[in-house]
Homo-oligomer: A and B are copies of this chain.
Amino acid sequence: MKRTITHLADGRELIYFDRRDDADRSAIDRRPLDPPPPASELRYDPLTEEWIAVAGHRQTRTFMPPADECPLCPSSGTRASEIPAHDYDVVVFENRFPSFSRNFGTYAEVGGLSEVRPGVGRCEVVCFTSDHSSSFAMLSDAQVELVMDAWADRTAELSAIEGVEQVFCFENRGEEIGITLTHPHGQIYAYPYVTPRTRTQLGAASRHAARHAGRNLFADVLAAERAAGTRVVAANELWTAFVPAAARWPFEVHIYPHRQAPDLAALSEEERAAFAPLYTSVLRAFDGLFGVIMPYVSAWHQAPVREGRDLGYLHLELFSIRRAPGKLKYLAGSESAMGAFVNDVPPEEAARMLRSQVDH
């Protein structure tokens, strides 16, 4: 794998990840770009003790451009995209409309028992393939491994940025989930705080360890799900994919490595290789469920940078909001206002449906 760091016309970093060592990465971005917007501001919510990012500049971000203006396709002789080269394997670059960045100024007090601080961090875009009409489910195993190399590289690099507390690699897929570009891509958020859900999971893991002689909560969940078996969707020697017993979403699959690792950078080459075919088979099972493209969020849960490295346990949480061919699960009053989830699809039934697609 060859890694080449370049810069776009407005100073943002762009990194090529190539399978071949002789890829020519000398193309230069000559677009007349405005300077990057300032970082968002973080506001402290006194009612929840959480930080909310306010990023007014993101209102103007690119929204569903026509395919021939896709900013994630390679540049051509006549059109300059975000990627200067005429082809690429996997490419990562700083988001033009970031929620977090290091380009911040000063922020005024806002009152209301809130505090304000700059949204230090970094947001990156990961192009999974140069093929505009492909999808992650359709990638070759070698291509998935290259994406994993990129994720691991970025996790290590972003973890080293001062002020970054957690690195989150994820993919939003489908218009129903709110994507604004259809080209197969994911994102990476390097947060200046430990996110609320990770904070909650680490708290649960800490209490579990205290009650059970230091045992790892996630390892125990994995063992219990493998023992129950009824919700396992797919497995190989190094990974298991299962619908969790208390799934929140109509179709939700968690994928765990069999060995505790804090983050993607800590996976072995064998683990990365074994993940690829398992994951794409689960994604294809999602799309096979109803014969329509499944909108999904695919979220890598990594341990924070500076805490919980042993309590945490790298795993992927994949879920769809589609509950039936013409119906979506919406987060309305109970979920959005109270955080109380009601799931209309029994987890064992979801697992059975997904298994029949994987075996297909």
Contacts and interface: CB of A to CB of B under 8 A. Distances in A.
A264 interface: no
A111 B43 contact: no
Given A56-B349, A342-B40, A112 B197 contact: no
A58 interface: yes
Contacts of A333: 168, 170-172, 187, 189, 297, 299
Contacts of A346: 54, 56
B208 A330 contact: no
Interface in A96-110: 99, 110
Q: How many copies does the complex hold?
A: 2
Most chain B Cβ neighbours within 10 Å, of A51, A342, A349: A342
Given A196-B339, A333-B171, A208 B46 contact: yes
Contact of A111 (B40, B44, B227): B227
Interface in A18-48: 40, 43-48
A59 interface: yes
Contacts of A111: 224-225, 227-228, 230, 245
Interface string A252-282: 0000000000000000000000000000000
A344 B55 contact: yes
Most chain B Cβ neighbours within 10 Å, of A40, A50, A59, A113: A113
Interface in A307-335: 317, 319, 323-324, 327-334
A195 interface: yes
Most chain B Cβ neighbours within 10 Å, of A112, A171, A217, A319: A112
Interface stretch (A67-75, A143-151, A198-206): A198-206
Contacts of A44: 246
Given A48-B200, A111-B224, A346-B54, A338 B178 contact: no
A231 interface: yes
A interface bracket (residues with beta carbon within 8 Å of B): 35 or more
A47 B200 CA distance: 8
A54 B347 contact: yes
A111 to B, nearest CB: 3
Contacts of A78: none
A1 interface: no
Given A47-B221, A170-B333, A337-B197, A245 B344 contact: no
Contacts of A43: 245-246, 347
Given A168-B338, A204-B49, A330 B177 contact: yes
A314 B44 CA distance: 21
A43 B55 CA distance: 37
A18 B84 CA distance: 69
Nearest to A247: B52
Interface string A221-259: 100110110110000000000101111100000000000
B58 A342 contact: yes
9 contacts: A52-B342, A53-B340, A56-B346, A112-B221, A112-B228, A113-B220, A168-B340, A187-B333, A299-B337
